[in-house]
Chain A
Amino acid sequence: DSGVTQTPKHLITATGQRVTLRCSPRSGDLSVYWYQQSLDQGLQFLIQYYNGEERAKGNILERFSAQQFPDLHSELNLSSLELGDSALYFCASSQSTSGYNEQFFGPGTRLTVL
């Protein structure tokens, strides 16, 4: 158990809908990262937050957004969903935003768009 929690574990929805994925980082970790793992691709970095502020953006679509709240949990919002958004979405956390520190991953949320 990494100490990172993600809900829900599975999510099935229809095209055009909007969903919210939730992540709670490990105790003491200030930085949260979101990654997407599609069937035909490896893990792709989406976005990073540190202590409530956005720090880095990767290959995140404009239809996707995220935020980190004062209690440090984070939410990833996916809107106008398309079939191609079906994937595993992982959240990870680390102590800081720089330096050599590993990221600890949650169990993921499997999103299926029908």
Chain B
Amino acid sequence: DQQVKQNSPSLSVQEGRISILNCDYTNSMFDYFLWYKKYPAEGPTFLISISSIKDKNEDGRFTVFLNKSAKHLSLHIVPSQPGDSAVYFCAASTFGAGNMLTFGGGTRLMVKP
């Protein structure tokens, strides 16, 4: 049973446009959500996070939106750059439950020059 799902395995976007990556979760106990970026042959790199008391968090070109009623979050990258091409993982955890992360399957983003 996948508790965190990223339904789009891949996404292709033109440089300068917006990239929107989506993530759905089923476990209502999740209250902290994170996005990681992963390049080949490297470990995941933390990008941005959001707690369930917020519905939006912004950091430079990256914004994460959380819709708790729909159990859905999204990552917006504006403007997209070729260096953003990587696999993006959505992850979730529960406060006080050891901080273990449950990951989605990942979305491969390709930003074309």
User: Which chain A residues have a beta carbon within 8 Å of chain B's beta carbons?
Assistant: 2, 4, 6, 31, 33, 35, 41-45, 48, 50, 55-56, 58, 90, 92, 94, 96-108
Contact B104 A42, beta carbon cutoff 8 Å? yes
B98 CB contact (under 8 Å) in A6, A41, A92, A97 = A97
Contact A107 B34, beta carbon cutoff 8 Å? no
Q: Quick check: is B49 within 8 A (CB to CB) of the other chain?
A: yes
Contact B100 A4, beta carbon cutoff 8 Å? no
Docked complex Cα distance between A36 and B43 (Å): 11
- Interface of B, secondary structure class, is loop
Shortest distance from the beta carbon of B79 to any chain A beta carbon, whole Å: 25
- Give the residue name and chain of the B residue nearest to A41 (CB): B105
The number of residues on chain B lying at the interface, defined by a beta carbon within 8 Å of a beta carbon of chain A, is 25
Given contacts A42-B89, A42-B104, A43-B103, contact A2 B98 (CB under 8 A): no
Contact B42 A48, beta carbon cutoff 8 Å? no
Contact A55 B44, beta carbon cutoff 8 Å? no
Docked complex Cα distance between A107 and B106 (Å): 17
